[in-house]
């Protein structure tokens, strides 16, 4: 018999919101102000390589390094340094500060078109069925101010950030610490996210339920719109 869902958690970036303008465009524009010659395409390639290098993304294990706010700031310092090799250290330090502030601003994030209605539906079901709901993200403390300025995020009281939990997805510790806070068994918690490793593999290993959102429709066992989450919860409650 399938365990009824008792909690629904949404990943944030890539699931509910996305950077707008796109991150590579912002990096290239701000970098140019300090003399960088990198194009948006250059930044895209270097960003992917640097991000993977500093997030253990090539590691087959789901274990990840412990994290906290200073660790996250240093990680992003290294990522920016690896991208902008054509800038001196002093310029890269200033650029990091500009980028950090830019992505702290709620106005620089946009909401996916299907997110507001889907969140409305899930919250209505949650109220009716007394489900716990929240956000579960690999982000740092900046997400708290972003949440206050983005309507779809502000509706969630529970917010779990990796830098505050001490471990990022897909680490088992990320999931265990949320379970402890919710005081619920793993199999009763549903995570909706877009990342095949952080959200899907991490949730599977933790024994959680999961739904992967892939709006392009190119992934197996995925949903193309967040509205499917509410439909699934409604069927479960029948």
pLDDT at residue 1 greater than cutoff 60: no
- Are the folds of 7-16+112-236 and 20-107 the same? no
| Pair 115, 14: CB distance under 8 Å | no
Residue with tokens 């290239």: 28
Residue 85 CA to residue 46 CA, distance in Å, equals 10
168-180 mean pLDDT = 98
Whether 141 and 160 have beta carbons less than 8 Å apart is answered as no
Q: CA-CA distances (angstroms) from residue 123 to 68, 132, 156?
A: 30, 9, 9
Note the pTM of the prediction, 2 decimals. 0.96
Can you tell me the mean pLDDT for 222-229? 96
The answer to whether 92 and 84 have CB atoms below 8 angstroms apart is yes
Confirm if 140 and 12 have CB atoms less than 8 A apart.
Answer: no
pLDDT of residue 58: 64
State how far the Cα of 96 lies from the Cα of 136, in Å rounded to an integer: 25
pLDDT band at residue 140 using 50, 70 and 90 as cut-offs: very high
Query: Which residues, in sequence order, are bridge partners of residue 213?
Result: 223
The residue to which tokens 């250290």 are assigned: 89
Domain boundaries, the chain: 7-16+112-236, 20-107
Question: pLDDT tens, 114-129?
Answer: 999 999 999 999 999 9
User: Whole-angstrom Cα distance, residue 120 to residue 128?
Assistant: 12
Q: Which residues contact 16 (CB under 8 A, 6 or more apart)?
A: 10, 111, 112, 115, 119, 135, 152, 153
Residue 167 CB contacts under 8 Å (≥ 6 apart), including other chains: 64, 66, 67, 173, 174, 177
- Check residue 60 and give its pLDDT: 77
Q: Tell me the CATH class for 20-107.
A: mainly alpha
| Rg, Å, the chain Cα set | 18
The topology under which CATH files domain 7-16+112-236 is: Rossmann fold (3.40.50)
């Amino acid at each position: 018999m399938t365990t009824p869902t008792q909690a629904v958690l949404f990943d944030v970036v890539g699931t509910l919101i996305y950077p707008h303008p796109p991150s590579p465009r912002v990096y290239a524009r701000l970098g140019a102000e300090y003399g960088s010659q990198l194009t948006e395409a250059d930044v895209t390639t270097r960003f992917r390589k640097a991000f993977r290098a500093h997030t253990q993304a090539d590691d087959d294990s789901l274990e990840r390094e412990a994290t906290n706010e200073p660790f996250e700031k240093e990680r992003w310092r290294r990522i920016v340094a690896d991208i902008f090799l054509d800038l001196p250290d002093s310029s890269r330090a200033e650029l990091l500060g500009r980028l950090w502030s830019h992505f702290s601003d709620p106005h620089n994030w946009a909401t996916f078109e299907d997110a507001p209605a889907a969140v409305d539906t899930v919250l209505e079901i949650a109220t009716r069925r007394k489900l716990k709901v929240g956000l579960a993200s690999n982000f740092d403390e900046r997400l708290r101010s972003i949440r206050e300025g983005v309507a779809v995020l502000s509706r969630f009281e529970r917010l779990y950030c990796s830098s505050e939990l001490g471990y990022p997805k897909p680490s088992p510790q990320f999931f265990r610490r949320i379970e402890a806070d919710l005081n619920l068994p793993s199999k009763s918690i549903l995570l909706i996210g877009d990342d095949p490793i952080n959200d899907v593999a991490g949730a599977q290993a933790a024994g959680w339920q999961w739904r992967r959102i892939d709006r392009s429709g190119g992934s197996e066992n995925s949903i193309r719109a967040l509205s499917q989450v509410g439909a699934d919860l409604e069927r479960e409650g029948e």
